[in-house]
């Protein structure tokens, strides 16, 4: 097995590490020994030398840049694409699985990229909110960037980056199609932030009314859904190592970032245990 990755970002790096295979990858600027995305000769040579191709590159202003530039040379090899559960749009808090329409998201170009990779024969991994080392509510609470909204009845799904990696690796032997990789317990963002504060021994961050948030944040909070992961469990044999946000954040807090670790625990009096 030889893996080629378009867009060696946070999740893709975790996948590459879990795969343990010889790796070639692109970035925009060719940093850290990667290939520049626009170096067509090097990219085509890398694809030709690979058995598996994974893209984590989001759509640009006109569509999917990977398929547009290199779709003709992907061939019959294994294809994977990191998509978003945002393609399902708002479900009013109802559960949604891969049989649901995937063209209702607020980003039409993401919906189109998801459909295009499915049409190309890829394993399309639909991901909710991603967290993991260095990128979790723990860091946001520690740096004062987190807030609560006070919105009642709103839930989201999320997934630890390590569970994305194990799910994609399990998908190396799976049939083409869409797979939701999410944990088992959708939860309110306020609950997740409050639990992160509890682990850090600080008071929960303040409530910021929705109307005071930016337009992107308001659009995000306008959606409400629970993402089902049963297909990935059945067909990939996948089980999340971190089945809920509490397990994931506890594991992360055991190796807390220097910023979080430096915080004084004296402000914990307002935390509900």
The domains found in the chain, sorted by start residue, are: 77-270 (3.40.50.720)
Which range among 97-111, 218-232, 245-259 has the greatest average pLDDT? 97-111
Q: Is the pLDDT of residue 1 over 60?
A: yes
Q: Is the pLDDT of residue 136 over 80?
A: yes
Q: Is the pLDDT of residue 110 over 70?
A: yes
pLDDT for the residue numbered 263: 46
pTM of the model: 0.92
pLDDT for the residue numbered 238: 98
pLDDT for the residue numbered 256: 61
Percent of the chain with pLDDT over 90: 82
Q: Is the pLDDT of residue 269 over 70?
A: no
Q: Is the pLDDT of residue 228 over 60?
A: yes
Collapsing DSSP to helix, strand or coil, 19 comes out as helix
Q: Is the pLDDT of residue 220 over 50?
A: yes
pLDDT band, very low/low/confident/very high, at 264 (cuts 50, 70, 90) = very low
**Residues 6+ away with beta carbon under 8 Å from 86:** 105, 106, 107, 110, 223
pLDDT for the residue numbered 260: 44
* E strand residue ranges, the chain: 3-6, 23-27, 35-36, 52-55, 78-84, 95-96, 123-127, 129-131, 158-160, 177-180, 226-227
Q: Is the pLDDT of residue 262 over 50?
A: no
Helix or strand holding residue 189 (H, E): helix 189-200
Cβ atoms of 84 and 227 within 8 Å: the answer is no
37-55 pLDDT tens trace: 999 999 999 999 999 999 9
Percent of the chain with pLDDT over 70: 93
Cβ atoms of 167 and 237 within 8 Å: the answer is no
Average of per-residue pLDDT across 248-262: 73
Structure tokens belonging to residue 98:
């891969």
Q: Is the pLDDT of residue 23 over 60?
A: yes
Q: In the predicted model, what is the mean pLDDT of the chain?
A: 92
Average of per-residue pLDDT across 245-261: 79
């Amino acid at each position: 097995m030889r893996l080629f990755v378009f867009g060696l970002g946070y999740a893709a790096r975790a996948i590459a590490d879990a795969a343990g295979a010889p790796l070639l990858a692109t970035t925009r600027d060719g940093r850290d020994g990667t290939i520049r995305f626009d170096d067509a000769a090097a990219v085509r040579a890398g694809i030709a030398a690979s058995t598996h191709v994974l893209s984590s590159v989001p759509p640009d202003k006109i569509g999917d840049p990977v398929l547009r530039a290199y779709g003709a040379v992907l061939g019959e090899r294994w294809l994977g694409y990191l998509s978003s559960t945002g393609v399902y749009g708002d479900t009013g808090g109802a559960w949604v699985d891969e049989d649901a329409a995937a063209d209702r998201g607020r980003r039409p170009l993401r919906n189109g990229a998801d459909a295009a990779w499915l049409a190309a024969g890829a394993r399309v991994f639909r991901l909710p909110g991603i967290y993991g080392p260095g990128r979790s509510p723990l860091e946001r609470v520690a740096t004062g960037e987190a807030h609560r909204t006070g919105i009642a009845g709103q839930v989201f799904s999320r997934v630890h980056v390590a569970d994305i990696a194990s799910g994609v690796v399990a998908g190396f032997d799976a049939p083409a199609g869409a797979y939701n990789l999410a944990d088992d317990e959708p939860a309110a963002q306020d609950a997740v932030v409050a639990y992160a504060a509890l682990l850090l021994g600080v008071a929960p961050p303040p409530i910021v009314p929705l109307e005071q948030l930016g337009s992107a944040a308001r659009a995000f909070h306008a959606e409400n859904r629970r993402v089902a992961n049963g297909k990935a469990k059945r067909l990939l044999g996948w089980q999340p190592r971190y089945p809920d946000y509490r397990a994931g954040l506890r594991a992360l807090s055991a190796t807390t970032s220097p910023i979080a670790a430096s915080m004084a625990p004296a402000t914990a009096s307002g935390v509900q245990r």
